[in-house]
Amino acid sequence: MDSAGNSNKVYHISPLRQWIVPGIFLAFAIFLLTLSLSDDGTPATRKLGMFMALGSVGFALVMLLIMRRTRLECSDDGIKLHQFGYKLETDWNNIAYLQDGPGPQGLVLHRPMECAGARTLAAHRHANINNINFYSDDQIQLLAEHRFIPIDAFAHSLTKGPLGDDLRRRTTGKAL
């Protein structure tokens, strides 16, 4: 997607979203470390606490790296979403509108994406926690059709940063 004289812009998820999951595991590691350094318990229990604390720190670092790699790239040619496990991409002419109603925000497309990431996301479109779907029924249908790019992770840049302006500028004449 790089071309001469292009105006590439890369957006990352908000710092809060980047640090929330790693922060939970770092807090857990500090708790375990505090317990393992206390005089309570047997040496084997304290040693286990230390190993678990190190494991939690390691997991927090891996999660931070995953979160840092999540990005939305806007170039003259189109838009690319890089998430852990998949990549979605389309050109600007394919974007119909920005869906910012209930559920995750995202870009609705005219035509299906032909990338492997669209198939991966479609296969996981029914993801939920405690029977609460990540996506609305309309979005699930659009994901099945490979016509939805979720950008809710970038809501901070969309509302408080230049992403909204960048999307409007690159899709002139469209209702974004």
- 3-class SS of residue 4: coil
Percent with pLDDT over 90 in the chain:
52
What pTM value is reported for the model?
Answer: 0.79
Give the Cα separation of 133 and 40 in Å (integer): 43
pLDDT tens-digit map of 60-103: 999 999 988 999 999 989 999 999 889 999 999 999 998 876 66
Q: Which domain holds residue 133?
A: 94-170
| CA separation, residue 34 to residues 22, 45, 46, 55, 81 (Å) | 18, 13, 10, 15, 40
Domain assignment of residue 85, yes or no: no
Domain assignment of residue 51, yes or no: no
Q: What is the pLDDT of residue 2?
A: 41
Q: How many domains does the chain have?
A: 1
Domain assignment of residue 138, yes or no: yes
The helix or strand, by DSSP H or E, that contains position 59, with its residue range, turns out to be helix 43-69
Burial 6-29 (b: 16+ CB within 10 A, else e): eeeeebbbbeebbeeebeebbebb
Q: What is the pLDDT of residue 5?
A: 44
pLDDT class of 171 with cuts at 50, 70, 90: confident
Q: What is the pLDDT of residue 42?
A: 87
